[in-house]
Chain A
Amino acid sequence: MSSDYEFSDDDGDYYDDEEMLDGTQEDDMDMDAFGEDFKVVPKGKHKAYEVEYDSLSQAAVEKLMKQDVDHICGIFGVDVSTANLLLRYIKWNKERLIEKYMDNPTTMLVAAGVIVPEASSQPAPAPIRTHSSTSSGFHIPKSLKPKVEEPFVCPICFDDDTSIQTLALDCEHTFCFGCWTAYVNSKIRDEGEHSIRCMAEGCALVAPDPFIRSILIPEPGAPKTWDRFQELLVRQFVACNNDLKFCPYPSCTNTVSCPSASSKASLATVVPTVSCGALREHMFCFGCPIESDHRPVVCGVARMWLKKCRDDSETANWIKSNTKECTNCQSTIEKNGGCNHMTCKKCKHEFCWVCMGPWSEHGTAWYSCNRFDEKTGVDARDAQSKSRASLERYLHYYNRWANHEQSAKLSLDLYAKTEKKMEDMQITSALTWIEVQFMKKAVEEVDKCRMTLKWTYAMAYYLAKGNQKDLFEDNQRDLEKAVEDLSELLESPIEAENIPTLRQQVTNKTVYVQKRNEIVLEDTANGFVEGRWKWNITVEGFDDPESD
């Protein structure tokens, strides 16, 4: 393993002595300067458990959209807003749009709400709005000009004031400015709708962007609504593109591009944990809806486990402590009172609750059972324990999973406590702020490893028995041991004379824990690529479990 580490002496090392293992990493996603000191990664090579991805700002996605729009403008000779409406309608599938449009441009334009159909009572305007009308490529509908020639009553608010400003799309369905404003605002704000149709009943014309802009701009809250509109457009584009995924964190507008995890098949070999780059916590899985890092286990298994836990965990605990199974038909039975003479409601089997043996052998010993060792009783309990075994097995994994989850939740407290300790250390010893950072780093590392550990239990639960599983669990055990040791060290009281030793120990342990974590992640990821992992249950994208 030593070849994997690099001892660097040329970059800004925060530690005054050289006891630290110092690896540098070429990962532009890492925003934590201190992180550099602890990373134990070969330089210039992607780790096996990481996917390549890009983080895009909203502006960057808008640029991508513009490329598509420009492409369509160039091919069809239409203006920007027409190209936009066409692309939004066809869900940004450019190839399909080109095919359909070449086939019948009018049908496409009608379907996308760009023009009114020929057969309508209104004489249709020119079938295609060409971009030659304005040099900027934007077409401002002539109907934007207020009309005041005839007495007008808005069919929505019945305002007939002669001074009201009116607006209509090319379909000439005219409404007052106030109603349009209320309508567009309500569509964008309340309904999150990016395609805003004419207000007239049954009219399928869609308002082009300059029209929406002209309505929103005089509004007091307009920049917000207009921004929201832009965001909705970006979201639609992202949703239509398999290579892209919107950051699921509230009010974050970043997008992640990860082509290597865009297909369902790829999710059997990679765990695409990505970060949108906006904040450290904005980490999520590109391949499934889990909003955290579920490495090392693949999406399919992680989802299965979460579902099982949602359905089972509490119930399973209760069943385990309150019920037994009928030794004849395995129905689960709760004894909520009465004597030990049980009659199964389902199969009418009579047995003793205490020894689980058949009641027929009990004679008249109704309220006490002293037959625990009789052969029939032992057999019955054997059957019982077999059916319990699967429940026990599940709870074994679940409890460990839940334990790590709980510890991870408590890590906030641990952070606070550690900060306090770091302050104390600066006071009681000669260490500087920079020099006590090892504590914080250790806490972060423990936190990270608990995440890994948590998911290794989900994985182990579904792994088929065999050497591979044994190896997996060996790695898991080593990591767990290392993490618990470090945790204990962090909790230990600080005495001034011990600080140098403690620092030495914590630093060493942190590096070790990190190494163990790398091994688990790396080996598991490689295992997926090599197809080493076999499951005891059918998992999408994997071979069915061998029946042996």
Chain B
Amino acid sequence: MASISARRLAKELREIQGEGCPVGISLLKADDFATWWFSIEVMGESLYQNEAYTLQFRFDSQYPISSPAVQFVVTDGKQAPIHPHVYSNGHICASILGNEWSPVLSVVAVCVTLQSMLASCKKKERPTDNDRYVRTAPENPKKVRCHLPKSVSSANSFPDTIPL
């Protein structure tokens, strides 16, 4: 399986280096197929104007079958954006990183989704359970078995449930 993960990431990296990233997103560092860093900025008018954040992607050998571990970097003086779905330790509560992850999604697709998550924010605030979560959260956000609300899902998803 390792070969699938490497081949897939090589291809994604080639595309990023060849065609570039969407506006506001840029690759900072991708020296291996284990961890990549991106800079992400919200373009146009939003609560996060002129603020740049660093996103970290960690891949395991099961990628892209299993989702990457994605979080905002909060070390070296960097901060996570203040957002109702972003914890102060950088963990992100987004369904596409959890139970709505699909192997056809890519690193760039995740960046774009998170960018639009920030862009559409109406009020800068931390999640209500931030303190409790940060106290007990494991280092890797993928180890959290949670409650992912359908907070951030991709634009063209089907309504996948009907109320019972």
- Chain A residues in contact with chain B, CB under 8 A? 90, 96, 100, 107-108, 110-111, 117, 120, 155-159, 175, 178-179, 182-183, 186, 190, 199-204
Contact = CB atoms under 8 A, between A and B. Distances in A.
Contacts, number: 64
8 contacts: A107-B162, A110-B162, A111-B160, A156-B103, A158-B8, A190-B66, A202-B102, A203-B158
Given A158-B11, A201-B157, A203-B158, A179 B164 contact: no
A158 B158 contact: no
Contact of B104 (A108, A110, A182, A199): A199
B65 A186 contact: yes
B104 A201 contact: yes
A190 B161 CA distance: 24
Nearest to B102: A201
A108 B161 CA distance: 9
Given A156-B8, A158-B11, A179 B157 contact: no
Contacts of A155: 104
B65 A179 contact: yes
B156 interface: yes
A182 B158 contact: no
Contact of B102 (A100, A107, A200): A200
B94 to A, nearest CB: 14
Nearest to A183: B65
Contacts of B158: 117, 120, 202-204
Contacts of A190: 62, 66
Contacts of A175: 103
Contacts of A179: 4, 65, 103
B56 interface: no
A202 B62 contact: no
B64 interface: yes
Nearest to B101: A201
A96 B156 CA distance: 30
Contacts of B65: 156, 179, 182-183, 186
Given A156-B104, A179-B103, A182-B65, A201 B161 contact: no
Contacts of B146: none
Contact of A199 (B100, B102, B156): B102
Nearest to A153: B11
B103 A158 contact: no
B3 to A, nearest CB: 9
Given A156-B103, A157-B8, 20 more contacts: A90-B164, A110-B162, A111-B160, A111-B162, A156-B8, A158-B11, A179-B4, A179-B65, A179-B103, A182-B4, A186-B62, A190-B62, A199-B104, A200-B104, A201-B154, A202-B100, A202-B102, A202-B154, A202-B158, A203-B158
B1 interface: yes
Contacts of B100: 202
A201 B110 CA distance: 12
A199 B105 CA distance: 10
B78 interface: no
Contacts of A200: 102, 104
B124 interface: no
A155 B8 CA distance: 9
B29 interface: no
Interface string B126-164: 000000000000000000000000000110111011101
